[in-house]
Amino acid sequence: MNERIEKIKKELENIKIESLQQLEEFRVRITGKKGELTQLFENFKTVIPEKKKELGKELNLLKNAVINTINELREKFENQETDRNTIDLSLPSKQDDIGSRHPISIAKNEILDIFKRLGFTVANGPEIENDWHVFSALNFPPEHPARDMQDTFFIAKNANNEHNNILLRTHTSSVQVRVMENQKPPIRVVCPGRVFRNEAISARAHCIFHQVEGLYIDENVSFADMKQTLLYFSHEMFGKNTKIRLRPSFFPFTEPSAEMDVSCTICGGKGCNICKHTGWLEIMGCGMVDPNVLESCGINNKKYTGYAFGMGIERMAMLKWQVKDLRLYFENDIRFLKQFESVT
């Protein structure tokens, strides 16, 4: 054993290490799992008791010397490395990339601006919601299949493995409920925001997307008012020659309900791949607010009527800029985003 200790001591005295890599090799060879010093400590267990004290002291001193040498050398090499990398004034300066607005934000701002010009104000609300604001107040009866129209992410389950009533909002109609609960008519709001639905991700669907929903409540608000507002919106958003059509539909919170199409933004209605040769593109749901909804939110449904509408921002951006794959909006690939620099 003594011989082996001497050998390591000698090596320490005449150490010739010139790089971090060599140092690492040395470290492993001496103090690694099967290193020379580690072995000595292993062998130490079998030393006779009389010799233990002296030999133990010697081994510990050696160990400290090895560790100190390794640390000193490491510090030296690391400092050398940073010295070499410190400022080179002859280098050209680094050009910082300037970001651009995301297409979803551009489309959202454009939609909101159009409605602001009509006197709508913007309202925001929480993304984590309760059942009342997303479903119950909006005339979705409990256990009603209409709730399945929007596959919901629930936040947690109770001890009986039933989900509690806290969920990620599936639409921003929840914000409209909050506005109705807190304001008196006349109400004119648009509610932008992120919404969540438990759907498989593909080019045409995503579990996260964005909506702008609108609500108008006053005395004598009619379906014709809604139609005129949405026609104005379509002209501003897609151009003066855009036509709209309303098809009967169903939503629990509106009666009557409709889906609105605009004439195809690509072919102008003649028929192309984008509109699947129909000449029309569906862009939003809308309808007259169901009197039950007004009542749930504490608004006198004998005195007031209103209309509501809701659209997906990804879809609007898709139609405006012909983005064919929804996933592009979420990947944030610089090459995709840079194409929108000039649009803002």
Give me the residues that bind ligand PHE (CB under 6 A), please: 171, 173, 213, 251, 254, 285-287, 308-310
CB within 8 A of 234, min separation 6: which ones?
A: 242, 244, 262, 283
Residue type, 99: G
Nearer to ligand PHE, 17 or 313 (CB): 313
Residue type, 36: E
Give residue 46's Cα distance to chain centre: 61
Shortest separation between residue 342's beta carbon and ligand PHE, angstroms: 31
Nearer to ligand PHE, 135 or 340 (CB): 135
Is 263 within 8 Å of 279 (Cβ atoms)?
yes
| Cα separation, 115 vs 229, whole angstroms | 9
DSSP string, 28-77: HHHHSTT-HHHHHHHHHTTS-HHHHHHHHHHHHHHHHHHHHHHHHHHHHH
Shortest separation between residue 335's beta carbon and ligand PHE, angstroms: 31
Nearer to ligand PHE, 40 or 317 (CB): 317
At residue 333's C-alpha, the angle toward residues 329 and 336, to 5°, is 70
Nearer to ligand PHE, 168 or 286 (CB): 286
Question: What are the distances in angstroms from CA 322 to CA 76, 240, 290, 314?
Answer: 58, 19, 35, 11
Shortest separation between residue 286's beta carbon and ligand PHE, angstroms: 5
Shortest separation between residue 173's beta carbon and ligand PHE, angstroms: 4
Is 194 within 8 Å of 318 (Cβ atoms)?
no
Shortest separation between residue 192's beta carbon and ligand PHE, angstroms: 13
Nearer to ligand PHE, 192 or 287 (CB): 287
Nearer to ligand PHE, 147 or 171 (CB): 171
| Cα separation, 310 vs 134, whole angstroms | 14
Q: Rg (Cα) of the chain, in Å, rounded? A: 35
Shortest separation between residue 166's beta carbon and ligand PHE, angstroms: 19
Residue type, 209: F
Shortest separation between residue 149's beta carbon and ligand PHE, angstroms: 8
Shortest separation between residue 243's beta carbon and ligand PHE, angstroms: 20
Nearer to ligand PHE, 69 or 172 (CB): 172
Element (H, E) at 330: helix 328-331
Is cis: bond before 103, omega within 30 of 0? Answer: no
Nearer to ligand PHE, 221 or 308 (CB): 308
* Number of Cβ within a 10 Å radius of residue 69: 19
Is 152 within 8 Å of 168 (Cβ atoms)?
yes
Nearer to ligand PHE, 59 or 314 (CB): 314
Shortest separation between residue 250's beta carbon and ligand PHE, angstroms: 10
Is 183 within 8 Å of 226 (Cβ atoms)?
no
